[in-house]
Amino acid sequence: MEKQNVFHETRREANAVAWMLPPPVKEAIDRLEGAGFAAYAVGGCVRDWLLGAAPHDYDICTAASPSEMQRVFAGERTIETGLKHGTLTVILRQMSIEITTFRQDGEYLDGRHPETVTFTRRVEDDLARRDFTINAMAYSPARGLADPFDGRGDCARGLIRCVGQPEKRFGEDALRILRALRFSARLGFPIEENTAAALRAGRGMLGRISRERIAAEMNGLLLGSHAGEILTAYAEVIDAALNGGGQIDWAAAAPAVDGVPLDGAVRWAALLAGAKGRHADILKALKMPNRLTNDVDALIAWGDALLTADKMQYALMKLGAENAKRLIALQAALDPRQAGETARALQARLDQLLREDACCTLGQLAVNGRDLAALGLRGPAIGQTLNRLLEGVTWGRWPNEKEALLKEAGQ
């Protein structure tokens, strides 16, 4: 049988990519090609380019072995962190570029990593180990597009489809289950039927994946502009990923997530608002950064108390500016009464307080500990009184003026 030609090239595309590639990336490819080694931009950058989006980074793959790459880039600054796996980072004109030898994965036994990795001279072999057709394309200005799995067709159709047999691919590496959901949530592409069935069936394997990797994929998924659709359609898979997300009320969570801005803390809060009490455990189990866990906790701890313009200064004291803003968005998404005009009025009130530098911290209070000591207060009473005074100021009970506060403190 005649060998299938995997290259589809049009001059227009070749020129467009040559024009799009940042000069250092183009230079790296040219230098490898000049030394006789095939070299391509590969993966996410090719996908994003075909979809008309700006790639956020560029990976290069090449027929050159690691030592051959080192020879080609002798004299340049290089970082050898991934050399064993075929990756050399080259710094050209301040841009760091990851270049990886074409690889073929050996058998997967642990459900995440191949036992062996072997180098190959064929780009098709390297593309075959990649997860989804839209991620399994490589482009070289000189050679055109290598696309053996019709990634370009799936970009045009808008489909997430496994390279090869879905059951096998998810069995090799269960992280791909969440990667499929993340790309779907980000791009708004549905997941092809067989791929979808296999990832549902394989969700039990998510237990093998490290919590940090799950957290990173979940963050990406929640920041997708189509996150709500995915949460609704694949609730049982997310349940398995969160390992105890069982308490989440999906019918409420999905629209809430879509209703808040693309910000990690407020999206997690929207997802977990209905799982109060369990939310901190879920985030801690994922080893989320403390900052995020604390922000989500503060938003959920606020509970159902509806924000009003009157309460805004108190909310600002309790939550800080960033979380107060998130709370306005969260309540608008969870409760129609807080949406639209109400949300805009609340935001206007918050903006006004910030502009006026309204008192919302002890440091802004018109009295300090020394003032209270001069009144005869001692020890913990000083801190307690300062806090009581601050709270009264934020409620509007008394003005933030020294005389008024001292009078209040003395009573």
What is the secondary structure of 46-85 as a DSSP string?
Answer: HHHHHTT---S--EEEESS-HHHHHHHTTTSEEEEEEGGG
Q: Which is nearer to ligand ATP, 87 or 293 (CB)?
A: 87
Tokens 């629209």 belong to residue: 255
Residue choice 62, 78, 135, 400 for contact with ligand ATP (CB under 6 A): 135
The answer to the question of residue 205 lying near ligand ATP (CB under 6 A) is no
Q: Which of 325, 255, 269, 326 is nearest to 301 (CA)?
A: 269
Scanning 80-88, 170-178, 278-286, 345-353 for contacts with ligand ATP by CB under 6 A, the matching segment is 170-178
Shortest Å, Cβ 39 to ligand ATP: 16
Scanning 36-44, 256-264, 295-303, 377-385 for contacts with Mg ion by CB under 5 A, the matching segment is 36-44
Rg (CA), the chain: 28
Contact of residue 279 among Mg ion, ligand ATP, none (CB under 5-8 Å per partner type): none
Q: Which of 82, 43, 88, 55 is nearest to 70 (CA)?
A: 88
H/E segment holding residue 211: helix 211-222
Please tell me the total number of residues recorded for the chain in this structure. 411
Which sign, positive or negative, has the C-alpha torsion 144, 128, 103, 22?
positive
Shortest Å, Cβ 23 to ligand ATP: 20
The answer to the question of residue 87 lying near ligand ATP (CB under 6 A) is no
Q: Which is nearer to ligand ATP, 50 or 299 (CB)?
A: 50
Closest residue (Cβ) to ligand ATP? 44
Tokens 């390992």 belong to residue: 243
Question: Going residue by residue from 99 to 138, which x/- string records binding to Mg ion, judged by CB under 5 A?
Answer: ----------------------------------------
The answer to the question of residue 175 lying near ligand ATP (CB under 6 A) is yes
Structure tokens given for 100:
């990886």
Residue choice 26, 103, 130, 152 for contact with ligand ATP (CB under 6 A): 130
H helices within 64-204, ranges in order? 66-72, 123-128, 151-157, 166-172, 175-187, 193-201
The answer to the question of residue 43 lying near ligand ATP (CB under 6 A) is yes
Binding footprint of ligand ATP, residue count (CB under 6 A):
11
Cα–chain center distance at 332: 23
Scanning 66-74, 174-182, 252-260, 374-382 for contacts with ligand ATP by CB under 6 A, the matching segment is 174-182
Q: Measured between alpha carbons, how far is 267 from 261 in angstroms, rounded to an integer?
A: 7
Shortest Å, Cβ 44 to Mg ion: 4
Q: Which is nearer to Mg ion, 44 or 148 (CB)?
A: 44
Contact of residue 173 among Mg ion, ligand ATP, none (CB under 5-8 Å per partner type): ligand ATP
Q: What is the DSSP letter of 149?
A: T
**Phi-psi category of 102—alpha, beta or left, where left has phi over 0 and alpha has psi -120 to 50?**
beta
Residues 266-325 that bind ligand ATP (CB under 6 A): none
The answer to the question of residue 44 lying near Mg ion (CB under 5 A) is yes
Chain positions contacting ligand ATP, by CB under 6 A: 43-44, 56, 130-131, 135-136, 173, 175-176, 179
Chain positions contacting Mg ion, by CB under 5 A: 44
